[in-house]
């Protein structure tokens, strides 16, 4: 007698159309259909039970499917009225099912009639009816969309779904398609709140000393307010104190004079009768010898000079130059070139020629500043060469030692030219610089 088979497969195939729901541990399977019996494919006998004893092809198929899933078979084939065989060779089975020449219509149902769609069948001799234990996955419902990634300016929100209706089972195919889906949200333009930019540098101080003010500014442009955004909070300007150091006093100056006295017919030693002296805390900024006629043949001389209030406190220190020859007899002014009066960078406060026999020297007083933090600025100058009158001291009236505003005299020296017929005063003037700015 020729054996007939029906084939049931658990293998995933797009040709599977109908399903068999066995319930319990067997679950659902797909019906592949009726095929010619493939050689060497279904080699493992799972159940052998005559159909007339079983009474139902479905019961036989479901019992066989439960056993096939337990033992790892991917498909079963029913045939020979009592036999159910299994296979694990999915590759060979897939290739076989794609061959339409293997399709058959020689399968029968429980009533031994021709197998119809949706029926539980077996194959005749050389024919199998295939069932698959594999279950392809199916998508569940989409979830609700989640929150938007941005509150404005165009964000994304996402919804998801799961491949769980049903889940893929026993080698079944996963769901085809995407598990997440994004869409645009909150596409309205964002409002941009303003933010302050950097402060500018401070502007100039309103005062050079004594406490002034200066201002700096900033702009609400990092970024600017946009699309209804808020403006910057706070002030766009900021003021601060500057140059809080004390101001130096204004230069307060007065003219002063020595007494008129005989010029001694130009004798240099007669200059010792004149004491150029400023009060404590003052300095000399200008000095010049004056001469006037005092009769038919007589002349008188004096010094006129300027005393100014020192711009910083100072202490008086007295110095003397070394004695030098005065030229003999009543003295010769050209010999003054051997004398130098110098206070360094401090102010000259007093100067007086002193005669000692045929020698002369200068006694002088310097006013030394007491604040060592104060700095000074100095410049050198001269009175320009002029005739020396062959040593006649009266010719010194052609020379005026003069310092600029706020400068004081610190040094002077009579210098002769190379021809020894002219002389000039070289001198130095200094001033006290304003204290460093303090903010």
- Can you read off the two tokens belonging to residue 121? 């069948």
pLDDT at 311: 74
Q: Which domains does the chain have, with CATH numbers?
A: 19-132 (no CATH), 141-185 (2.20.100.10), 198-242 (2.20.100.10), 253-431 (no CATH)
What is the rounded CA–CA span in Å between residue 249 and residue 243?
15
What is the rounded CA–CA span in Å between residue 142 and residue 155?
20
Q: How far is CA 366 from CA 123, 222, 256, 320, 376, in A?
A: 138, 61, 18, 11, 15
Tens of pLDDT along 181-236? 999 999 999 999 999 999 999 999 998 888 899 999 999 999 999 998 999 999 99
Mean model confidence pLDDT for the chain? 88
Of 288, 281, 301, 294, the closest CA to residue 255 belongs to 288
Of 392, 393, 341, the closest CA to residue 362 belongs to 341
Cβ atoms of 48 and 56 closer than 8 Å:
no
Tens of pLDDT along 40-80? 899 899 998 887 777 788 888 888 888 888 888 889 999 88
What is the rounded CA–CA span in Å between residue 329 and residue 385?
26
Q: How many CB atoms lie within 10 A of CB 240?
A: 12
What is the rounded CA–CA span in Å between residue 47 and residue 71?
12
Cβ atoms of 389 and 395 closer than 8 Å:
yes
- Which contiguous run of DSSP H or E holds residue 51? helix 51-54
What is the rounded CA–CA span in Å between residue 369 and residue 357?
35
Q: How many CB atoms lie within 10 A of CB 150?
A: 14
- Reduced to 3 states (helix: H, G, I; strand: E, B; else coil), residue 274 is coil
pLDDT at 438: 65
Cβ atoms of 439 and 242 closer than 8 Å:
yes
Rg, C-alpha atoms of the chain: 62
The residues near 188 (Cβ < 8 Å, ≥ 6 apart) are: 152, 153
Question: Over the chain (439 residues), what is each successive 10-residue block's mean pLDDT?
Answer: 44 50 76 89 88 79 87 87 86 88 88 81 87 80 93 93 84 86 92 94 89 94 93 94 80 92 91 95 95 87 93 89 93 95 96 95 94 91 96 95 95 97 97 77
> Checking DSSP bridges between strand 5-9 and strand 28-36, what pairing results, if any?
antiparallel
The residues near 320 (Cβ < 8 Å, ≥ 6 apart) are: 354, 361, 362, 363, 364
Q: How far is CA 228 from CA 190, 197, 221, 280, in A?
A: 9, 19, 15, 72
- Can you read off the two tokens belonging to residue 101? 């020449």
Of 187, 262, 197, 248, the closest CA to residue 225 belongs to 197
What is the full DSSP assignment across 287-354? EEEEEEE-SSS-EEEEEEEEEEE-SS-EEEEEEEPPPEE--STT--GGGGGG-EEE-TTSEEEEEEEE
pLDDT at 80: 80
pLDDT at 165: 85
pLDDT at 270: 93
pLDDT at 11: 38
């Amino acid at each position: 007698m020729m054996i007939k088979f029906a084939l049931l497969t658990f293998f995933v195939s797009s040709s599977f159309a109908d399903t068999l729901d066995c319930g319990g541990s067997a679950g659902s399977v797909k019906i592949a259909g009726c095929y010619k019996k493939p050689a060497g494919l279904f080699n493992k006998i799972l159940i052998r039970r005559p159909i007339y004893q079983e009474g139902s092809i479905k019961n036989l198929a479901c019992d066989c499917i439960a056993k096939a899933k337990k033992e790892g078979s991917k498909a079963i084939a029913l045939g020979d009225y009592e036999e159910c065989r299994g296979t694990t060779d999915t590759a060979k089975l897939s290739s076989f099912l794609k061959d339409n020449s293997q399709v058959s219509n020689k399968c029968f149902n429980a009533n031994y009639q021709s197998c119809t769609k949706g029926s539980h069948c077996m194959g005749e001799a050389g024919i199998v009816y295939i069932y698959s234990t594999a279950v392809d996955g199916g998508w569940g419902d989409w979830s609700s969309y989640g929150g938007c990634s941005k509150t404005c300016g165009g964000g994304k929100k996402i919804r998801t779904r799961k491949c769980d209706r049903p889940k893929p089972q026993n080698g079944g195919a996963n769901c085809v398609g995407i598990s997440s889906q994004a869409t645009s949200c909150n596409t309205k333009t964002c409002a941009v709140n303003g933010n302050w930019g950097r402060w500018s540098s401070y502007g100039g101080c309103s005062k050079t000393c004594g406490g002034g003010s200066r201002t700096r500014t900033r702009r609400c442009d990092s970024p600017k307010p946009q699309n209804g955004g808020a403006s910057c909070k706070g002030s766009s300007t900021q003021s601060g104190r500057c140059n809080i150091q004390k101001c130096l006093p204004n230069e307060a100056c007065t003219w002063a004079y020595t007494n008129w006295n005989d010029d001694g017919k130009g004798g240099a030693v007669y200059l010792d009768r004149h004491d150029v002296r400023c009060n404590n805390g003052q300095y000399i900024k200008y000095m010049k010898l004056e001469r006037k006629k005092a009769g038919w043949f007589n002349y008188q001389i004096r010094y006129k000079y300027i005393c100014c209030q020192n711009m910083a406190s100072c202490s008086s220190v007295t110095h003397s130059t070394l004695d030098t020859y005065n030229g003999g007899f009543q003295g010769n002014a050209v010999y003054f070139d051997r004398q130098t009066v110098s206070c360094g960078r401090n102010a000259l406060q007093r100067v007086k020629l002193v005669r000692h026999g045929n020698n002369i020297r200068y006694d002088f007083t310097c006013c030394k500043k007491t604040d060592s933090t104060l700095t000074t600025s100095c410049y050198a100058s001269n009175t320009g060469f002029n005739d020396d009158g062959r040593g006649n001291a009266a010719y010194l009236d052609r020379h005026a030692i003069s310092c600029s505003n706020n400068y004081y005299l610190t040094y002077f020296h009579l210098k002769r030219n190379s021809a020894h017929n002219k002389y000039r005063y070289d001198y130095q003037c200094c001033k006290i610089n304003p204290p460093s700015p303090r903010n």
